[in-house]
Amino acid sequence: MTIPTRLARGLRLPVIGAPMFIVSTPDLVIAQCRAGVIGSFPALNARPAAVLEDWLKRIADELAAHDESHPDRPAAPFAVNQIVHKSNDRLSHDLDLCVKYKVPLVITSLGARPEVTEAVHSYGGLVFHDVIDQTFARKAVEKGADGLILVAAGAGGHAGRQSPFALVQETRRWFDGPIALSGSISTGASVLAAQTLGADFAYIGSAFIATREAQASDAYKQAIVSGSAADIVYSNLFSGVHGNYLRASIVAAGLDPDHLPEGDLSTMNFGAAVANGAKAWKDIWGAGQGIGAIDEVLPAASYVERLLSEYRESLKRLPRPEAALAV
C-alpha cells in the first residue's frame, strides 16, 4: 500500500473529495486542493462542453498561483471524473482536454476502456476506477486502471451493497495498488479507519456538500446538517443505477420512499424527470449514511482542518499492541 508520488505533493490528509454531480465546481475543487486534499469534479458538470476548458485553466492557474505564494505548503493535486458509459457523447472531447491540461488524476465511472487509460498515461497521469464489487474491480485493473475506488454500502450517490470490510479485504488479496474507500466517511477517525483497513485514501463526498463552496442550495446543505443515516434511501429509480438519496427530497417530489418502483439500467439517464418534474441530483438529492457526523456548514478549508484534528486525535487513541492484546 502506498500513495503514488504524483499524488502525494501537497497532501496533508489521505483524502480525495469525491466528484459530485452539480455540486462540485472549481470553487470547491480549488478550496479542497489548497486545504491539502485532492479535489475533484465530474467533467459533465461543466456545461456546455466548451466551459470545461475554462474550468481546467482556472483550476490549473489558481493552484499554480497558490504554490508560488505558498512554497512551503503547496496545493494538493486535482482530479476529473469521466463517465465512460456509452450514453456520454462528450467523452472524447472531455478526455482530450484532460490530456491538454495534464490532469493529474482521472476518475472513471460506469465503464473501463483501455483507450481512456492510454490517453491519461500518455502524459504521466493516473487513472482510478470506481467499483462496487470484485468483478468490476478485476475488469478495471485488466483494462489498465492504476487504482481502485471501492464504493461500499452507505456511500452517497451511486453506491454498492457490500461492507467496506468485505470490499477492502477481498481486493487486497490480489491487488497491491492504490485504493480509495468510499462509504459513510465523514470524520478524521473514519479516515484513519479506512487506512487501517487497507485503503490508501478515504473518498469523501456528502460531507463536502455542507461547505460554503459547494454548488448546492441552502436547503440541501441544511438537509445534510440535520440528517442522519435513517434519512437515506437506497434506490435505482432515479438514474437506473442503485444509489443513496435523502428521504426528504424524495417525499418533496411526491414519491413514497418506502415503495419506490424499480429503475431501468438499460435506459440509464442521469437527468430525466422522475415525478412532478423532479430530476435526480438537482431535486432528488444524493447523500450517504455518514451525514449524521456533520452538524454545520463550514468553508471547505475549515472542514479539512477539522478532519486533520480528528485524525491526529484518533492516532493518539490507538492502543499499543500489548494493550490491545491484553485479555
CA dist 258 → 175, 183, 248, 282 (Å)? 38, 22, 12, 21
Q: In the prediction, which pLDDT does 272 show?
A: 57
Closest CA to 257 of 230, 277, 281: 230
Residue 295's pLDDT is 97
**Which residues are bridge partners to 182 per DSSP?**
151, 203
Cis peptide before 48 (omega within 30 of 0): yes
Is residue 167 classed as helix, strand or coil in its secondary structure? helix
**Cβ count within 10 A of residue 196:** 10
pLDDT in tens, the chain (327 residues): 679 999 999 999 999 999 999 999 999 999 999 999 999 999 999 999 999 999 999 999 999 999 999 999 999 999 999 999 988 999 999 999 999 999 999 999 988 899 999 999 999 999 999 999 999 999 999 999 999 999 999 999 889 999 999 999 999 999 999 999 999 999 999 999 999 999 999 999 999 999 999 999 999 999 999 999 999 999 988 888 899 999 999 999 999 899 888 877 655 555 555 666 677 778 899 999 999 999 999 999 999 999 999 999 999 998 876 655 554
Q: Which sign, positive or negative, has the C-alpha torsion 286, 292, 298, 303? A: negative
What residues form DSSP beta bridges with 246?
232
Confidence (pLDDT) at 241:
87
The listed CATH number (3.40.50.300, 3.20.20.70, 3.30.110.40, 2.40.128.720) that belongs to domain 5-216+294-316: 3.20.20.70
Q: What is the pLDDT of residue 327?
A: 47
Dig out the grid coordinates for 2 from the structure: 502506498
Compute how many other C-beta atoms are within 10 angstroms of the C-beta atom of residue 161: 13
> What phi, psi does 255 have (nearest 5°)?
-110, 155
Q: Assign 203 to helix, strand or coil.
A: strand
Would you kindly state where each structural domain of the chain is located, as residue ranges? 5-216+294-316, 218-279
Q: How far apart are CA 111 and CA 103, in angstroms?
A: 19
